[in-house]
């Protein structure tokens, strides 16, 4: 299977690239900083240097030729304020959707966020804009004809993965390791019959394979 990861050098993207490469999938992706390409190559991961805010859909589509699954794991990550959030988490996804259509890629997995994340806190206007942009991106993707899956992880941590999760259409917002998010995405990549679902993801008791397979039966 050929998988293209937008945001391949990010916390989730790189973990996913490693897992898929170890599984024998062909992995490619887009990374923003030139030096990231050397680090990826040192791990045997091929990727293309490019800025999601500058690349247009036809140029991204050209990189997607032969791709079976497109994973969108990019995000502004708190840098650049509201305009960066709009450009990357918002318009960046629009570009990816259009590129998928042009390249004939049917399956798109989006790393999104809980709409009610941190509702128990006093959050900044920038964070509100982030949540609003993520929800609009979910809505845009869900309205397409693609075989999308929208994955909404809870608060991300760099703790070692547990291999166990909760995965369901509605969960209480807690936390989840980036390792376990990546492992869940890898399972979703290999489970094409799970499609057109919005799934929330937190730490939990269920082995990842079982949790994903359960979603195909409900
Ligand atoms: N943090 C949380 O608690 C949380 C919770 C739920 C969901 N999420 C979402 O989960 C996703 C992945 O999280 P993460 O921890 O993996 O984030 P991350 O480490 O910040 O990775 C995001 C990647 O996107 C890349 N990117 C940003 N702008 C780009 C551009 N213009 N062109 C190309 N690539 C660009 C970044 O490049 P650089 O390496 O150059 O910065 C980075 O590698 C994010 O979209 C985030 O919104 C986060």
How much is the pLDDT for 78? 77
- Which residues constitute the domain of residue 172? 2-217
CATH of the domain at 164: 3.40.50.720
How much is the pLDDT for 179? 98
Write the CA distances from 1 to 54, 135, 184, integer angstroms: 28, 29, 16
How much is the pLDDT for 89? 98
Mutate to test the pocket of ligand 1, among 6, 8, 9, 10 (most ligand atoms within 8 A of CB): 10
Q: Is 181 in the pocket of ligand 1 (CB under 6 A)?
A: no
Label residue 66 left, alpha or beta by phi (over 0 means left) and psi (-120 to 50 means alpha): left
Atom from ligand 1 closest to the CA of residue 77:
20
Mutate to test the pocket of ligand 1, among 138, 141, 156, 174 (most ligand atoms within 8 A of CB): 156
- CA angle at 39 for the pair 164 and 88, rounded to the nearest 5°: 70
Task: Count the domains in the chain.
Answer: 1
How much is the pLDDT for 20? 98
How much is the pLDDT for 184? 99
Residue found under tokens 């937190």: 202
- CA angle at 209 for the pair 101 and 190, rounded to the nearest 5°: 30
Averages of pLDDT over each 10 residues, the chain, 218 residues: 98 98 97 96 96 97 98 92 97 98 98 89 88 97 98 98 98 97 98 98 98 93
Q: Is 113 in the pocket of ligand 1 (CB under 6 A)?
A: yes
């Amino acid at each position: 299977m050929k998988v293209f990861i937008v945001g391949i050098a990010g916390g989730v993207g790189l973990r996913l690239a490693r897992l898929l490469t170890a599984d024998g999938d062909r992995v490619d992706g887009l990374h923003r900083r030139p030096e990231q390409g050397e680090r990826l190559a040192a791990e045997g991961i091929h990727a293309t240097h490019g800025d999601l805010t500058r690349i247009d859909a036809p140029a991204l589509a050209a990189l997607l030729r032969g791709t079976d699954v497109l994973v969108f794991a990019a995000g502004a990550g708190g840098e650049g304020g509201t305009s960066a959030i709009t450009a990357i988490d918002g318009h960046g996804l629009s570009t990816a959707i259009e590129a998928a259509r042009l390249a004939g890629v049917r399956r798109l997995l989006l790393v999104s966020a809980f709409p009610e994340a941190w509702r128990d806190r006093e959050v900044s206007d920038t964070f509100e804009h982030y949540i609003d942009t993520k929800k609009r991106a979910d809505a845009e993707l869900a309205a397409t004809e693609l075989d999308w899956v929208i994955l909404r992880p809870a608060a991300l941590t760099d703790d070692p993965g547990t291999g166990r999760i909760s995965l369901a259409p509605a969960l209480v917002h807690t936390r989840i390791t980036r390792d376990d998010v990546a492992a869940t995405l890898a399972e979703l990549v290999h489970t094409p019959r799970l499609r057109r679902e919005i799934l929330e993801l937190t730490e939990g008791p269920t082995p990842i394979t079982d949790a994903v397979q359960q979603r195909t039966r409900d």
